[in-house]
Amino acid sequence: MVAVSLAPAPKVPKFPSSTSPISPRKVHVFPNSPNPRILRPKEERAFVSMPPLSSSSSSSSTALGMSNSAELKAAFPSVVGSNDLLIVGPGVLGRIVAEKWRQDHPDCQIYGQTMTSDHHDELIEVGINPCLRGTKTDNQFPYVIFCAPPSRTADYPGDIRLAASNWSGEGSFLFTSSTSVYDCSNNGLCNEDSPFQLVGILVSMSF
C-alpha cells in the first residue's frame, strides 16, 4: 500500500483587495469655462467597481455561450476617463460610433451595455468592453449614447431612464431613434427642423 499526502492548493490573491486599495485622484472642474468639462491627465482616472462573478453567474454565462476570457474582461474593474464612452445597445450603429470615437480619442475606453452576453466576444474583438444591462458602477460616464431598439424590451422608457442614470452630465447624452417620424424619403439631409410625418403618438419624457 502506498500512502499519498495531498497538500492544500495555494490561494490565488485577488486584485484589487483591501490590502491594495486604489484611490482616485482629484478631478478638476472649471464651471466658468465657456465649455465646462472634466480636465484630467490620462493617469488621473477614477475606478469603477463592478460586482465579481459568482459561481452561479459564471456557469450561466458559459451556458449562454460567453467564453471565459469574455467573462473576465466583463467582470474586471474598469476606469472612467474624461473621454470614455458608454454605448447602450452596441449593435450596427453603436459599433460604427465606437470606431469613429476611437479614431478621435485613441486613449479612451469604450463600454457596450447589452441585454444578453451572446455577442460579448464580438464586442471584445472590436475593442468594446461588454457589460450586461443593470451592471452597477460607482461612477458615471461623461459620454453616453443610447442605440437600443424598443423591440428588445418591455419597458423602453425605463431603459432610457436607466441609460441616462449612467451619465455624469458633463459631456453629452445622445438618444438615437428611427427617423421615420420625419417626412424624408429621398436620402437627403434630415434634422429636427424637418417636417413630420404623423405615423403615431410621440411621448415626451423628462428624467
Per-residue pLDDT tens for 17-51?
Answer: 444 443 333 333 334 434 444 333 343 333 333 33
Residue that wins the pLDDT comparison between 26 and 171: 171
Closest CA to 88 of 128, 39, 44, 124: 128
pLDDT at position 179, please?
59
pLDDT in tens, 98-151: 999 999 999 998 998 888 888 888 998 888 888 888 777 677 899 999 998 888
pLDDT above 90 covers a percentage of the chain that reads: 14
Residue with the bigger pLDDT between 199 and 144: it is: 144
| Grid cell locating 189 | 439631409
Output the pLDDT for position 55.
38
- What CATH number was assigned to the domain covering residues 80-207? 3.40.50.720
Asked if 152 contacts 115 with a C-beta cutoff of 8 angstroms, the reply is yes
Q: Cα 87 from chain centroid?
A: 5
Domain boundaries, the chain: 80-207
Residue 194 CA to residue 207 CA, distance in Å, equals 25
Q: Which residues pair with 167 in a beta bridge?
A: 141
Comparison of pLDDT for 73 and 86, the residue scoring more: 86
The set of cell numbers assigned to 77 is 474593474
- Listing DSSP states for 118-158 in one string gives TTHHHHHHTT-EEEETT---SS-EEEEEE---GGG-S-HHH
* 167 pLDDT higher than 50: yes
3-state percent breakdown (helix, strand, coil) of the chain, nearest 5: 25, 20, 55
